[in-house]
Amino acid sequence: MTRGGPVPKPDALVFDVLGTLVDEPAGIRSGIRAFAPALDDVAVERLLALWQDHVAHEQAAIGDGERPYRDSAALDREAARRVADAAGPDGTASAAVEALAASARRLPPWPDTTDGLARLAERFPLVGLSNASRAALLELDAHAGLRWHLAVSAEDARAYKPSPEVYRLAVEASGRPPERLLMVAAHAWDLRGAQRVGMRTAYVRRPVGDPPASSDRFDLYADGLADLAEQLDRA
């Protein structure tokens, strides 16, 4: 993978969670299968796309001021209802829909996540910065075994990344200037948002991420958390 320039020496690392540290599609896919076991793989993937498209569209609508802020748990419930209407029998019980929505808070970590965070935590303060609501982030962290020194939810800004207000939450909470923070994410759009407030950036490749464009210039490019740790060890 193409590398950036000199390896930065940050005071703290700020991590995206969904997609970067946990496999969001896998967790939601499992929830859909539990909700409708008779569905074949093609149908499951279609419903997963329906869920993801709804959440992305509504987050963008909130960012554009087209609808009032609603937290991630509310958007997941909306998405679950749409999936249930598309896949389940008419009049699906609300408890079943709520159980489906809860799958967005039970996401498996990537194989390198736990050990990678533990290794990085030996050298740096770690901050989780997620679009997940405060309550959802608590469940996500507990289920996946994520290790933080601090976890920050976009709910506190009543906005979603890549709105600059969200990244400023991490800057303010860390007590450090943005250029002393390294934002780590598997989504190029997320890193671009961090750059706009002056943060340094590290792209970590994941199967479900948003890869960099040829015009992107991030400080680090890593194949996983072990690779990221090794590059930072050399700094």
- 152-202 pLDDT, tens digit per residue, is 999 999 999 999 999 999 999 999 999 999 999 999 999 999 999 999 999
Q: Can you give the pLDDT at residue 2? A: 44
Q: Does any domain span residue 146?
A: yes
How far apart are the C-alpha atoms of 168 and 82, rounded to whole Å? Answer: 33
User: What pLDDT is attached to residue 234?
Assistant: 87
Assign residue 207 the CATH number of its domain: 3.40.50.1000
Question: Residue 67 belongs to what domain range?
Answer: 25-105
Domain membership of residue 170 (yes or no) is yes
Cα–Cα distance between 50 and 69 in angstroms, integer? 21
Q: Is residue 6 part of a domain?
A: no
| Domain limit, last residue, from 55, 79, 105 | 105
- Asked if 69 and 79 sit in the same domain, the reply is yes
Q: Give the global pTM.
A: 0.93
Q: Is there a single domain that holds both residue 113 and residue 215?
A: yes
Q: How many domains is the chain partitioned into structurally?
A: 2
Residues in contact with 219: Cβ distance below 8 Å, sequence separation at least 6, in sequence order: 4, 5, 7, 8, 182, 200, 201, 202
The reply to whether 68 falls in a domain is: yes
pLDDT of residue 66: 97
Which of 225, 212, 194 is closest to 124 using CA atoms? 225
One domain, residues 131 and 178: yes
Of 48, 72, 105, which one is at a domain's C-terminal end?
A: 105
Same domain, 123 and 223: yes
Identify the segments of the chain with pLDDT beneath 70: 1-6, 88-92
The reply to whether 136 and 228 lie within a common domain is yes
pLDDT for residue 94: 84
pLDDT of residue 230: 96
